[in-house]
Every structure is written in structure tokens, then in C-alpha cells.
Structure 1
Amino acid sequence: MDPLSDVVSFLRLRSYLVGGFEAGGNWSIGFDAYEAIKCYAVTAGACWIAVEGTGEPVFLQQGDCFMLPRGQPFRIASDLSLPPEDWRRYFLDATEGAVVKLNQGSGVTVLGGHFALAGPQAEMLLRLLPPIIHVRSETDSETLRWAFARMREELTGLKPGGVLIAQQLASMIFIQALRLYLKDNTGTGWLFALSDQRVAAAIKAIHREPSRRWTVKTLATEAGMSRASFAARFRQLVDESPLAYLTHWRMLLAGRRLELGEPISTIAEALGYESESAFRTAFKRVTGNTPRRHAQSFAQNGAVAMNGRIQQS
């Protein structure tokens, strides 16, 4: 897989709610802080959105997509000068896949999904993203428009399996929105570095062979650059050295394998460490936790979550 696919697959991305709303007249809804990524599109009409602590509000037009990856409180409205109503009034008891109607619904339609992310790998991605990602309709977003049109059809057509199809579409929308955002924006971090062909080649090599004994020189060769130029370019774009990135990626891989119950000695060898001791030291330095404690913590949290689901059923 490519690096973006690698990281997203490690996030254990899942859509835990799809749906939306139709609104008519004057309206304003306020949403609290939340632990999820929201990804929606305005499929009809236009409205405003204001995310707390991000400066100027954003005007959303038909065909625009927006993603809220940080979980900050926000308001969405026909007119932001209106006092916002609490979201619970309309959405708290809505069923999965429902398209809620505000003021009888007419004029504005917003559809999308909420995504839950699991694991410490989430921070690796989300820390690089702004509080709001706005993909404008004039962007090359034919795939997004098709996906949201199909989602609307599935959610409003009430066909068998419609919610499941909408969930799969929501995951695709999340990836495509990231692609379009990276295409038209710049920043610092591995995610933005993927748009640089030479540095991306080195990152891909690390992901392809994480156990290899990489050096700055061999990674520079993958990038087709001199050692000094590559090291400077990598740090400029990724904001850390090539070998630091390699270590962080190895520890993310190690964390997943620990969660799956693999022996520490097996993981250390698979990731290129000469000894279990060297691996333990690296893991503790990067994560602040020992491999054994990481595995135990994951097992305990999983048991608590499972117990909670049993009690609710």
C-alpha cells in the first residue's frame, strides 16, 4: 500500500453514523465538542459554518465538501447572527441513515458521516490537519459529487442495505477529501511531504521495508538526491529527520502488533532490531510506555469496551 493508505488502515477508520439534514427558512444549529471526524457535503443550497477558535466563518455552496477533524465546537446556519439551537433537539434521537428536517426542510441539504478513529496512530494524521478542511465545488471533485449523490440516493431511497452502502461511501469520501485537500494546500508533516515526488519516494521505501537498516544515504538514493540535500529537504517538509520518521513508523507498526498479541521478541526481529532490549528502549523513548504495558493497556481497554457493549445489549 502507499503511505496514506498505510496510515488510514492503521487508524481502523469506521463510519459510525451516516445521515444529514434538510433545512428551510432561517435556522442555526450549535454542536458541542465531539470525538470524531465529521465529513459532509452541501448537496443543495448554501449555508455558513463557524468552527470555534478558527477565525472567519466559511460560506458553503452547493457541491462544497467540508471536513472537521479536530472535534471542536461549531455552528452551521443559514444566518450566523441567529442564536443557535441545541443540536440535540433535532438529531439526538435520529436513526442511522436519517435525513432530519429543519423547518419542514427545503432549500439546503447536507449529507455525510461521522468517523471514529481507534489507536494512537490517529494523532499521527489528525495533528497535521486544520480544524476545518473546505473542498470547494470548483475543485476537481467529480468523485466526491458522485459519492454524495449516491449516498443521498441510498439514504432517502430506503432500499435494503442502504445504510451499509452509505457507510462504505462515507469512508471513500474521507479519503478523497484528504486527497483534494493535499492537492491544493501546503504544510509541514509527512502527509504534505507525499506531494513531493522525491521525499515521497523515501517515505514509500520506509513503509515498504520498515525492517531494513536504512541510513540517510540509502534513503537519499531512493529519493534520487545527494545525502545533504535530501536530509535538509526531508526535515523541511516532514519537520523531523528521516531516521526519526523511520523510528516513529516502526513504533506504530510495533504498537499494532503488540495489540494483536505478538511476542515482543518476534516484533523486535521483524522490525530490524538486533535485540529485544534495543527494541524495548526505542519503544519506551518514542511512546513513553513499555511494550508490555502498551499491550496490557490495550487488552484492558478492549475488555472494558466489550463489557460496555454487553451491558447495553
Structure 2
Amino acid sequence: MSEAHDQASSSLAPASISPPGADPLSDVLRSIRLTGALFFVVDASSPWCVDIPRAKSFAEIILPGARQIISYHVVVEGRGHAGVPGSPAVEIGPGDIVVFPHGDPYTMLSEPGTPPELGPAETMDFFRDLAAGRLPFVIPEGGGAPPPAKFICGFLGCDLSPFNPLLANLPRLLHIRRSAAGEADLLDRLIELTLEESRRERAGGASIRLGLSELMFVEALRRHLSATDGGGCGWLSGLADPGVGRALSLIHADPARGWTLAALAQEAGLSRSVLAARFAATVGETPMHYLALWRMHVAGRYLRDGVKVAAVAREVGYASEAAFSRAFKKFIGLSPAAWHAAER
């Protein structure tokens, strides 16, 4: 294989090739190139309301080149409501997290019916000032009356194409409630670190805060995963099912292997019929269709790094460049060369 291919394979190995029993969540998080864009604290007084437009309208301002913007908010104190157009708003309280994974417009407010403090043009100016560092880390919001509210806001960029299993089945608004036990946990420590950073301006503070933003989002996903009993539908629900989670780990550990349903079921410790039924019910795809999609995702990483199509075909388990190209076009809608050109 070419030197370029060897270098690309080495750089991508942690994201695409892991030993059996690997952690698929970490694998996907690495492969989608999660990147912190904005991270700040809102110190609100009543009444308050923020009306965030569709992420595409401000993506180039906060993270140029990002294919997808994810936003999330952690309630530190106080209460409020959050909603997306066309769906009922949810009530949020201390310790709750709301995630908007698909870039939808959304509203967060103290009480239903509260008008937004900023209009559309002022909101865009707000994002420009945030991205340029012209605003403090702690931003006041609202009308100045009690009760107060405080929440941590994170905006992240990630890759969508050619396949993002993490986001594919998440709802437009994901509401993660605080654990009923209420004991201190990792999220509390991350919040404490964030608030500590907000009190002191130190060299490297912006980098620390963006790192905290990514960690906080991953912890939110882990909370959602721990609260999932496998009865829902989506990739995280698949991870929560022991048998399906094992099958996902096997696929991620060796996507180039000539998997059959029988071989995958045997190594996952299930019968073919049980694996097929549980995989479809949780992940929303058949095991073989998911394998093909994940191969396309891995292939996309290699193609993006300039690896030759023939070498990519071998890396993801296809016997010939032609067979891989046909499969890629079937699933992605473009030939590998056309997709690579579009990505560049």
C-alpha cells in the first residue's frame, strides 16, 4: 500500500479499528470529530427568553466549515421551559440537560408566552460577538426580577456525512433529567470546574472551557445511555442492550471482516432471529445494513484523508474497487471520487 495510505490508516486506527469489546460510543465520538465552538454561562433574571434560529444560519459565524451544530444547556439553578417548533415545551429544572442535536430552531424561556429579549438580527450580532470574544464568559439575561436562573450553554460542531449513527435517531429535543438519587457525580464536578473558570481569567482559559464543553456533552450522552433500558429505538438504545451492544462492538472492531448474520449472532451470544429482531428494534436497522453503513462511514474518513479508492475498498472489506464504488454510490448517492470532491 502507498505511504499516504499507511499514514491515513495509522491516523484513523483509533476511530475505526479497535480490539474486540471496544467502546462504540468513544469510537463514534472520535470519528465524527466533535469540536467545541462556543461555551458560556447565562445568569438570568425573570422574565427571560432566548429564541435561537436554525443552526445553519449562524454555523459559519461560530465554527466555519462545520457540517452540523449541536447545542445543549445544563440547568445549574432555577427553572424554565424549552421547546422546538411544532412540539410541546418541556419544563426544566436544576441538573436537567436539554440537547438540540439536529440544528433546529428552539426557544428557552422562564414562562410560556414570554417574548424574546433579542430579535433575529440582534441574535446574529450576539453570536458574532461571542465568537469574536467580545462578550464575557458569564452573560446576564432577562428583566431583573426574581426568581433567578443559571444555565451552562454549549455549542459543538461535528461531522454528519456520510453516516452519523449517534445523531440519526435522537429526537429534535432530548431532555435528560437529573438522577432522582441526587448524589454528586461527574456532571456536578464539571459544572463546578466551569463555574470556577468563570470567576477567573487565566491564560488558556478559552481552550479549557471548550474542552469542558465537549466533556459535558459526552457526560450528557452517558447519562442518557444509563437511563435507557433498551426499550427505545436508536443507536444508544442498541448500546444499552447487552447482545446488540456486543454486536455493535464486533462490527466497529473489525468492519472489514466478511460478517454474516450467523457469524455475528454466534459471537454476540444470540440466535440469528433474536439478534435480527433486537437489533432492528433498538438500532432501527438490520445488522447487515448497519454494517454496510458503518463501512461507508469508515470509508469516508479514509477518502477525506486522500487515500486511494482501491485501498479504501480493501480497508472496509470489499473485494474490488468497482464493488466498493457501487456500494458507496448506493448508500451515499455519489461515487467515492465525487463525494471526496464535494467534501473538499
**TM-score normalised by structure 1 residue count:** 0.88
Sort the Cα spacing of 1:46 and 1:263 in 2 relative to 1 into closer, same or farther, 3 A: same
Sort the Cα spacing of 1:230 and 1:63 in 2 relative to 1 into closer, same or farther, 3 A: closer
- 1:123-202 aligned at under 5 Å gives the runs 123-139=164-180, 142-185=185-228, 186-202=231-247
CA contact (8 A) 1:33 1:72 kept: yes
> 2-side partners of 1:8 and 1:168: how far apart?
14
Q: Quote the residue 2:79 is aligned against.
A: 46
Sort the Cα spacing of 1:130 and 1:77 in 2 relative to 1 into closer, same or farther, 3 A: same
Gaps of 5+ in 2: 1-21, 57-68
> 1-side partners of 2:210 and 2:157: how far apart?
12
Q: Report percent identity of matched pairs.
A: 33
- Per-residue CA deviation, residues 217-238 of structure 1 (Å, 9 max, x unaligned), is 1101111112222222222222
- 1:261-272 aligned at under 5 Å gives the runs 261-272=306-317
- Farther off after superposition, 135-144 or 111-120: 135-144
> 1-side partners of 2:73 and 2:165: how far apart?
22
> 2-side partners of 1:172 and 1:280: how far apart?
37
Shift of 1:98: 2.0
Shift of 1:7: 1.4
> 2-side partners of 1:123 and 1:230: how far apart?
22
Give the match's secondary structure for 2:39: strand
Shift of 1:80: 1.9
> 1-side partners of 2:139 and 2:45: how far apart?
12
- Per-residue CA deviation, residues 212-263 of structure 1 (Å, 9 max, x unaligned), is 1111111011111122222222222222221111111111100110010001
- Per-residue CA deviation, residues 267-296 of structure 1 (Å, 9 max, x unaligned), is 111222111111111111111110111111
Shift of 1:104: 5.5
- Farther off after superposition, 205-214 or 236-245: 236-245
Shift of 1:195: 0.5
Q: Quote the residue 2:114 is aligned against.
A: 82
Q: Quote the residue 2:59 is aligned against.
A: none
Do residues 91 (structure 1) and 132 (structure 2) align? no
- Relative contact order (C-alpha < 8 Å, sep 6+): which is higher? 2
- Per-residue CA deviation, residues 140-195 of structure 1 (Å, 9 max, x unaligned), is 67111211221121123222222211111111111111111122244223331111
CA contact (8 A) 2:163 2:297 kept: no
1:62 to 83, 91, 94: 94
> 2-side partners of 1:273 and 1:161: how far apart?
46
1:277 to 318, 322, 327: 322
Gaps of 5+ in 1: 300-313
CA contact (8 A) 2:32 2:164 kept: no
CA contact (8 A) 1:11 1:122 kept: no
> 2-side partners of 1:42 and 1:82: how far apart?
19
- Farther off after superposition, 132-141 or 210-219: 132-141
Give the match's secondary structure for 1:201: helix
Do residues 30 (structure 1) and 71 (structure 2) align? no
* Aligned AA (1:78): S
Sort the Cα spacing of 1:10 and 1:172 in 2 relative to 1 into closer, same or farther, 3 A: same
User: What is the root-mean-square deviation in Å for CA atoms of aligned residues?
Assistant: 2.1
Shift of 1:121: 4.8
> 1-side partners of 2:105 and 2:160: how far apart?
23
CA contact (8 A) 1:211 1:270 kept: yes
> 1-side partners of 2:318 and 2:180: how far apart?
45
CA contact (8 A) 2:47 2:144 kept: no
Q: Quote the residue 1:212 is aligned against.
A: 257
Sort the Cα spacing of 1:231 and 1:64 in 2 relative to 1 into closer, same or farther, 3 A: closer
- Per-residue CA deviation, residues 73-92 of structure 1 (Å, 9 max, x unaligned), is 22222222222222636834
> 2-side partners of 1:72 and 1:91: how far apart?
18
Q: Quote the residue 2:267 is aligned against.
A: 222
- Farther off after superposition, 109-118 or 229-238: 229-238
> 2-side partners of 1:138 and 1:235: how far apart?
29
> 1-side partners of 2:254 and 2:269: how far apart?
18
> 2-side partners of 1:122 and 1:139: how far apart?
35
Aligned length: 298
CA contact (8 A) 1:49 1:60 kept: yes
Q: Quote the residue 2:64 is aligned against.
A: none
* Aligned AA (2:335): T
> 2-side partners of 1:235 and 1:59: how far apart?
32
* Aligned AA (1:14): T
Sort the Cα spacing of 1:286 and 1:15 in 2 relative to 1 into closer, same or farther, 3 A: same
> 2-side partners of 1:46 and 1:114: how far apart?
21
> 2-side partners of 1:122 and 1:82: how far apart?
38
